[in-house]
Amino acid sequence: MIVGIDLGTTNSLISYYENGEAKIIPNRLGENLTPSVVSMDDEHTIYIGKTAKERQIKYGCDTVDVFKRSMGTNKEFLLKGKKYRAEEIASFILRGLKEDAEVYLNQTVEEAVISVPAYFNDQQRKATKKAGELAGLKVERIINEPTAAAISYGIRQREANTRFLVFDLGGGTFDVSILELYHNIMEVRAVAGDNYLGGEDFTKVLYDMFIKEKNLSESKLSDKTLAHIRRQAELCKLGFSKGNTSFMQCNIDGEEVEASISLEKYRIECLPLLEKIQKPIERSLKDAGIKLSQIDEVILVGGATKLPIIRKFVGKLFGKLPNVSLNPDEVVALGAAMQGAMKERNEMIKEVVLTDVCPFTLGTEVAISLDKDTKEGGHFCPIIERNTVIPVSRQETLYTAQDDQTSIRLKVLQGESRFAKNNLYLGEINVSVPKGKEGEESIEVTYTYDVNSILEVVVKVVSTGEEKKLIIQKEDCTLTREEIEKRFEELSYLKILPRDEEANKRLLFRGERLYEESFGTMRSQIDYAVTEFEKVLDSRDKAKIEEAAEKLRRFLDEIEEEPL
Residues marked active site are found at: 6, 68, 145, 168
The torsion angles phi and psi of 474, rounded to 5 degrees, stand at -95, -115
CA 448/CA 454 separation, integer angstroms: 8
CA 393/CA 449 separation, integer angstroms: 6
Helices 199-213 & 223-239, crossing angle to 10 degrees? Answer: 110
The answer, yes or no, to whether the previous bond of 391 is cis (omega within 30 of 0) is: yes
Map residue 515 onto helix, strand or coil: helix
Residue (of 163, 179, 196) closest to 277 by Cα position: 196
Residue (of 477, 443, 475, 451) closest to 393 by Cα position: 451
229 Cβ contact partners less than 8 Å away, ≥ 6 residues apart = 207, 210, 211, 221, 248, 250, 252
Residue (of 143, 148, 95, 189) closest to 475 by Cα position: 143
Q: Are strands 82-85 and 76-79 parallel, antiparallel or unpaired?
A: antiparallel
Q: Which DSSP category does 68 fall into? A: G
Longest dimension (CA), the chain: 89
Number of residues assigned to the chain: 564
Q: Are strands 495-496 and 362-369 parallel, antiparallel or unpaired?
A: unpaired
Residue (of 30, 27, 12) closest to 553 by Cα position: 30
CA 445/CA 468 separation, integer angstroms: 10
Q: Are strands 111-116 and 2-7 parallel, antiparallel or unpaired?
A: parallel
26 Cβ contact partners less than 8 Å away, ≥ 6 residues apart = 32, 100, 104
